[in-house]
Amino acid sequence: MKGRFPNKLFNVTLTGRALKDISPDILRGIRNPHLHFGMYNTSVSTVPKDVFDNAEWVRNVTVHLHHSDVRTLNNPSNGYKPGVPGKRFLLKLTVAGNYFTCDCDIGWMEDWQRKHRQYQEDRCTTYSEFKNFERDEEDDEFDCWDNGWDDDLRESFCLNKNNMSVLEALKTDLECGWGAADSVQAPHRSLLFFFFFFFVTVIY
């Protein structure tokens, strides 16, 4: 699926048991800053990170997996929070009922969960700033305390860990740390201070 898609297209849902692999270029033609990516009843086992990286125009992502064989979902985000210029951030993840291979390839979910919770709390106090930021696909009312992402991870499971919930595995069983392959971090303060100090020194 190459070429430029209509600007209004934001919902890409793949379905069918015959589908076993997806091309890294499948979302390259998206020209909408909002992307809803769904997979229903497919045989795809891995969603590569390149699928999202190649959607260069996208800034806000929602992912919905339902009755699929996806075992590895790579991080759709490359920004550490919503609204970073030129970066994507996962705003919603719906994976209840899915069975993953729980290793550090999905370890990013723990870091994302913390950042998403912080974002939810921030937007509760600054609704006027965020009210036009997200695309409300279901016309739901604005809800500051929607923590459905916790329930989804609690209701998805680890095939390789005796069907432990993904949420429990992230909390107690996976030790991926800050070095997880797809973890996206904010710029470290000490690094920012170094560049500021270096800049001031050169100017002086």
Q: What is the pLDDT of residues 63-116, one digit of tens each?
A: 999 989 999 999 999 998 888 999 999 999 999 999 999 999 999 999 998 888
Kindly report which listed range (66-80, 126-140, 157-171) carries the lowest average pLDDT score.
126-140
Return all residues near 12 (Cβ < 8 A) that are at least 6 apart.
Answer: 26, 27, 30, 35, 36, 37, 38
Q: Which DSSP symbol is given to 4? A: P
Measured distance CA(160)–CA(101) in Å, rounded: 6
The Cβ of residue 145 has, within 10 Å, a number of other Cβ atoms equal to 7
Q: What is the predicted pLDDT for the residue at 3?
A: 81
Q: What is the predicted pLDDT for the residue at 179?
A: 41
Higher-confidence residue of 137 and 101: namely 101
pLDDT band at 133 (very low <50, low <70, confident <90, very high): low
Question: Do the Cβ atoms of 30 and 60 come closer than 8 Å?
Answer: no
Measured distance CA(194)–CA(102) in Å, rounded: 37
Measured distance CA(109)–CA(84) in Å, rounded: 19
Return all residues near 175 (Cβ < 8 A) that are at least 6 apart.
Answer: none
Question: Do the Cβ atoms of 68 and 42 come closer than 8 Å?
Answer: yes
pLDDT band at 39 (very low <50, low <70, confident <90, very high): very high
154 pLDDT more than 60? yes
Average pLDDT for the chain: 81
Higher-confidence residue of 110 and 181: namely 110
Measured distance CA(175)–CA(169) in Å, rounded: 9
Which of 40-44, 187-191, 194-198 tops mean pLDDT?
40-44
Antiparallel, parallel or unpaired: β 46-47 and 157-158? unpaired
21 pLDDT more than 50? yes
- In 26-167, beta strands by DSSP E: 34-42, 46-47, 60-66, 72-73, 89-94, 99-100, 157-158, 164-165
Closest C-alpha to 17, from 95, 71, 69: 69
- Token pair of 201, please? 């020194």
pLDDT band at 180 (very low <50, low <70, confident <90, very high): low
Q: Is 21 left (phi over 0), alpha (psi -120 to 50) or beta?
A: beta
pLDDT band at 185 (very low <50, low <70, confident <90, very high): low
pLDDT band at 146 (very low <50, low <70, confident <90, very high): low
Q: Angle at CA 19, nearest 5°, toward 55 and 181?
A: 45
